[in-house]
């Protein structure tokens, strides 16, 4: 007997490996190549002052150009390596988030909306690439290049080195203070972007209803208000970014100016100390002056990409939020490999449900408690109960869309678990209350990429009474989400999908007649019964007494019973 599980299946977000830092170190090497370039410039200026031969100056110019070319090549190579590693890391994080989303159960209480997930995966995730390619490189430079320059400057003048040493720590301190505000503002900004995307997606999907209700003006006003809020938050982030740049420029300008003042007065003899008991020559003084701006250059670069860090960290957290632990789909979510074998099986499925219970987490109450049932092969069964009694949850558990907290489900003697879920689902058809319709033709929506011949397709269309709709639309593309189809037409499309499923032995229908007019509901009832008549076990969760009356049995989850159906159409009674 299968072992009961105490809690639903959950998973923790996978930890992606950090991208390689080789690109950053190549760029550090490129930055350090400025030291010999500066030395060549300083020597050349002194050589001119001493009227050196032009051949020596020409060699100095050639060496400077060669070092510059080498520096550009090394920096370009490091930049390419850094961006390649950052993009690979971003794709890894995206893939992990997508895999987690694909395995999220429809019963997941914190499942992100489609608009938010699309915004995080598409727009916000790009910030991670900039974070690792630019910010981490700048951070590595800050840790190495200023220290090397400081050692070089100190070896020539301890006063100039002391000026740089005093000015340098003030910059990261103030940048850190500003950065805390920037990170909070970036998180708020990214959240507003996701909310606006979800708002637009929701309103576009309901555009026909908005027009029908005459609410276009109100929706436009809400959109304008949300866009204005996003604009204000964007400007707030930019203000903080400009503030961090201003702080850096202030202290770096003061540091360079003080070094220049000291070197100038030292060369004039007004400040005779500070060069370890000697006097700086022209080449040494020029070398110190050239290194002073280079000392602050990595800090300036870090300031320029400081916002990338805030945006990148916020994007990483947003991707991790998409992977919140919770109920997960059993199996890998792909039953295609077993469809060919299942297509040859003609016996309807038999179900055994034993002490089935489900709760979203260990702290939440049980939605389904100790439910047991036996459903024979080819039987038609209705699950009945008030709203919240757990009918849809039981249907989802039968389909393996989540793991039960306790108990188990047997389908033809096989346990519905992670090992057998894909295989068992390959012989199922799901008829949802709100079916998902792709932006494709009706034929493509029925096939769903499956290998279904024209004869089977035509038979499925006829059994679902979808012929008139298909004749009217032909190969025209249906709008995403079923735009252009009525609720009844979308349900008939779902029935046609189920009828076209190769080897379908179990049909699960969740409230298939809810919110339909009497005529359309009658078509849906006939379609479901036609599916069962083709050799499939039928299980429906319903509030419809007419549909319940068509079933062989009614299983109540809360002790209530459906009222006696009156006015049952003759066609339905004959099928039942």
Is residue 175 scored above 70 in pLDDT? no
At 565 the pLDDT is 52
Structure tokens at 230: 């996003």
Of 56-60, 307-311, 556-560, which range is least confident?
Answer: 307-311
For residue 7, is pLDDT > 50? Answer: no
Per-residue DSSP letter, 10: -
Top pLDDT among 551 and 190 is at 551
Most confident of 235-239, 290-294, 511-515: 290-294
Residue 539 vs residue 303, higher pLDDT? 539
Query: Above pLDDT 90, what percent of the chain?
Result: 20
pLDDT at 404 over 60: yes
Average pLDDT over residues 404-423: 90
Look at residues 514, 517, 462, 518 and name the one whose alpha carbon lies nearest to residue 492. Answer: 462
Position 327 in a domain: no
Contact yes or no for 286/42 (Cβ under 8 A): yes
**Angle at CA of residue 542, ends 536 and 545, nearest 5°:** 105
Look at residue 187 in the predicted model and tell me its pLDDT.
67
Residues 526-554: what's their mean pLDDT? 89
The residue among 44 and 6 whose pLDDT is bigger is 44
Q: What is the reported pLDDT for 184?
A: 67
Do both 382 and 514 map to the same domain? yes
Q: Where is 267: in which H helix or E strand?
A: helix 216-268
| Whole-number Å distance between alpha carbons of 201 and 196 | 9
Do 234 and 358 fall within a single domain? no
CB crowding 143-176: b at 16 or more within 10 Å, else e: ebbbebbbebbbebbebbbbbbbebbeebeebbe
Q: 507 - beta bridge partners? A: 429, 538
- Higher-pLDDT residue of 193 and 421 is 421
User: Cβ distance 241 to 308 under 8 Å?
Assistant: no
| Residue 5 lies inside a defined structural domain of this protein | no
Mean pLDDT within 322-351: 66
Confidence grade of residue 178 (pLDDT, cut at 50, 70, 90): low
Averaged pLDDT score across all residues of the chain? 82
Backbone angles phi, psi at 261, to 5 degrees: -65, -45
Q: Where are the alpha helices (DSSP H) in 4-125?
A: 22-32, 34-49, 54-103, 114-119
What local confidence, expressed as pLDDT, does residue 228 receive? 85
Q: Residue 357 has what pLDDT?
A: 92
Buried b (16+ CB within 10 A) or exposed e, 36-66: ebbbbbbbbbbbeeeeeeeeeeeebeebbee
Residues 344 and 293 placed together within one structural domain of the fold: no
**pLDDT category of residue 179 using cuts at 50, 70 and 90:** low
Instruction: Write the CA distances from 83 to 19, 25, 404, integer angstroms.
Output: 10, 13, 44
Neighbouring CB atoms inside 10 A of 417's CB total: 19
Whether residue 106 is predicted with pLDDT greater than 90 in this model: the reply is: no
**Which pLDDT belongs to residue 74?**
95
Say whether both 357 and 234 belong to one domain: no
Q: Same domain for 417 and 482?
A: yes
Instruction: Give me the pLDDT at residue 345, please.
Output: 57
Task: Evaluate whether residue 328 is within a structural domain.
Answer: no
For the chain, what percent of residues have pLDDT higher than 70?
A: 87
Largest CA distance in the chain: 115
Between 396 and 479, residue with greater pLDDT: 396
8 Å CB contact between 44 and 359: no
Instruction: Tell me, yes or no, whether 173 and 109 share the same domain.
Output: yes
Mean pLDDT of 284-304: 87
pLDDT of residue 40: 93
Using the predicted structure, report yes or no on whether residue 10 has a pLDDT greater than 60: no
Q: What is the mean pLDDT of residues 255-276?
A: 85
More confident position, 49 or 567: 49
CATH for 375:
3.40.50.300
How many domains in the chain?
2
> Do 491 and 568 lie in a common domain?
yes
Same domain, 308 and 366: no
Cα distance between residue 206 and residue 250, in whole Å: 53
The pLDDT of residue 267 is 84
Domain match, 59 and 136 both: yes
Whether residue 572 has pLDDT greater than 80: no
Better-scored residue on pLDDT, 364 or 248: 364
Q: Two tokens at 291?
A: 């290194």
Q: Is residue 128 in a domain?
A: yes
pLDDT higher than threshold 50 for residue 535: yes
Above 70 in pLDDT, residue 461? yes
Q: Which residues contact 225 (CB under 8 A, 6 or more apart)?
A: none
CA 456 to chain centre: 38
Examine the fold and report which residue of 296, 321, 346 is the final residue of a domain before the chain moves on.
321
Is 38 within a domain? yes
User: CA 388 to CA 383: how far, in whole Å?
Assistant: 13
In a domain, 13, yes or no: no
* Gyration radius of the chain's alpha carbons: 35
Span 354-364, average pLDDT: 85
203-218 mean pLDDT: 81
79, two tokens: 């930049």
Give the number of other CB atoms < 10 A from CB of residue 138. 23
Given a contact cutoff of 8 angstroms between Cβ atoms, the answer to whether 470 and 446 are in contact is: no
> Do residues 257 and 165 lie in contact, with contact meaning Cβ atoms separated by under 8 Å?
no
At 182 the pLDDT is 65
Q: Are residues 251 and 300 in the same domain?
A: yes
Assigned domain for 102 exists: yes
Residues 211, 277: Cα–Cα separation, whole Å? 86
Domain residues for 534? 336-575
DSSP characters for 436-475? ---SS-HHHHHHTT----HHHHHHHHHHTT-HHHHHHHTT
Tokens 């678990």: give the residue: 417
176 and 34 co-located in one domain: yes
Q: Do 542 and 512 contact (CB within 8 A), yes or no?
A: yes
More confident residue, 180 or 120: 120
DSSP 104-158: B-TT-TTPPPHHHHHHIIIIITHHHHHIIIIIHHHHHHHHHHHHHHHHHHHHH-H
Residue 280 lies in a domain: yes
Q: Do 470 and 485 touch, CB atoms closer than 8 A?
A: no
Q: Among candidates 98, 78, 68, 100, which has minimal Cα distance to 20?
A: 78
Across the beta sheet with 414-415, what order do the strands follow?
368-375, 351-358, 406-411, 414-415
Put the strands of the sheet holding 537-541 in their side by side order. 428-431, 506-510, 537-541, 380-384, 553-556
Name the more confident of 446 and 172.
Answer: 446
Model pLDDT for residues 429-452, shown as the tens digit of each residue: 888 877 888 888 888 888 888 888
Mean pLDDT in residue range 405-418: 90
Are 259 and 128 members of one domain?
Answer: yes
Tell me, what's the pLDDT at 487?
75
Strand ranges in 172-250 using DSSP code E only, listed in sequence order = none
Domain end marker among 264, 296, 321: 321
Choose between 14 and 163: higher pLDDT. Answer: 163
Domain boundary (293, 321, 349) is at: 321
CATH number at 48 reads: 1.20.1560.10
């Amino acid at each position: 007997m299968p072992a009961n599980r105490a809690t639903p299946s959950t998973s923790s977000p996978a930890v992606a490996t950090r991208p390689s830092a080789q690109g950053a170190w190549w760029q550090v090497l490129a930055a350090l190549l400025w030291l010999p370039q500066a030395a060549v410039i300083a020597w050349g200026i002194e050589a001119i002052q001493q009227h050196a031969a032009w051949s020596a100056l020409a060699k100095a110019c050639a060496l400077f150009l060669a070092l510059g070319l080498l520096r550009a090549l090394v920096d370009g190579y490091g930049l390419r390596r850094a961006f390649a590693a950052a993009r690979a890391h971003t794709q890894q994080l995206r893939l992990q988030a997508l895999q987690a989303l694909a395995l999220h159960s429809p019963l997941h209480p914190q499942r992100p909306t489609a608009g938010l997930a699309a915004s995080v995966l598409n727009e916000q995730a790009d910030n991670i690439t900039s974070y690792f390619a630019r910010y981490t490189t700048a951070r590595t430079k800050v840790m190495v290049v200023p220290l090397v320059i400081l050692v070089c400057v100190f070896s020539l003048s301890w006063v100039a080195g002391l000026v740089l040493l005093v000015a340098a720590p003030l910059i990261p301190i103030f940048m850190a203070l500003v950065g805390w505000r920037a990170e909070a503002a970036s998180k708020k900004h990214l959240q507003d972007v996701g909310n606006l995307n979800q708002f637009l997606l929701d309103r576009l999907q309901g555009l026909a209803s908005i027009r029908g209700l005459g609410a276009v003006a109100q929706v436009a006003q809400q959109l304008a208000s949300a866009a204005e809020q996003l604009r204000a938050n964007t400007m707030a982030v930019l203000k903080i970014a400009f503030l961090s740049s201003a702080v850096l420029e202030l202290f770096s300008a003061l540091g360079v100016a003080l070094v220049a003042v000291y070197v100038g007065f030292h060369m004039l003899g007004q400040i005779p100390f500070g060069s370890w008991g000697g006097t700086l020559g022209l080449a040494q003084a020029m070398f110190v002056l050239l290194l002073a701006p280079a000392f602050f250059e990595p800090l300036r670069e870090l300031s320029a990409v400081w916002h990338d860090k805030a945006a990148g960290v916020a994007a990483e957290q947003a991707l991790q939020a998409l992977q919140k632990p919770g109920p997960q789909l059993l199996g890998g979510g792909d039953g295609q490999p077993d469809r060919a074998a299942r297509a040859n099986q003609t016996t309807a499925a038999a179900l055994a449900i034993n002490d089935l219970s489900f709760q979203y987490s260990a702290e939440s109450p049980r939605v389904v408690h100790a439910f047991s049932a036996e459903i024979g092969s080819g039987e038609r069964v209705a699950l009945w109960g008030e709203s919240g009694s757990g009918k849809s949850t039981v249907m989802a558990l039968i389909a393996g869309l989540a793991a039960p907290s306790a108990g188990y489900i047997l389908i033809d003697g096989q346990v519905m678990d992670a090992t057998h879920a894909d295989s068992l689902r390959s012989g199922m058809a799901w008829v949802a209350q709100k079916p998902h319709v792709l932006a494709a033709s009706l034929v493509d929506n029925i096939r769903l990429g499956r290998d279904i011949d024209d004869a089977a397709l035509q038979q499925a269309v006829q059994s679902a009474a979808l012929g008139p709709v298909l004749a009217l639309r032909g190969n025209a593309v249906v709008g995403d989400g079923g735009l252009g189809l009525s609720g009844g037409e979308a349900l008939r499309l779902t029935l046609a999908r189920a009828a076209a499923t190769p080897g379908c032995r179990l049909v699960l229908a969740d409230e298939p007649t809810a919110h339909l007019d009497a005529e359309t509901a009658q078509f849906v009832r006939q379609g479901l019964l036609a599916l069962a008549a083709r050799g499939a076990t039928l299980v429906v969760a319903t509030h419809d007494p007419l549909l319940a009356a068509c079933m062989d049995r009614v299983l109540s989850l809360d002790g209530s019973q459906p009222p006696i159906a009156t006015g049952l159409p003759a066609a339905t009674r004959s099928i039942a």
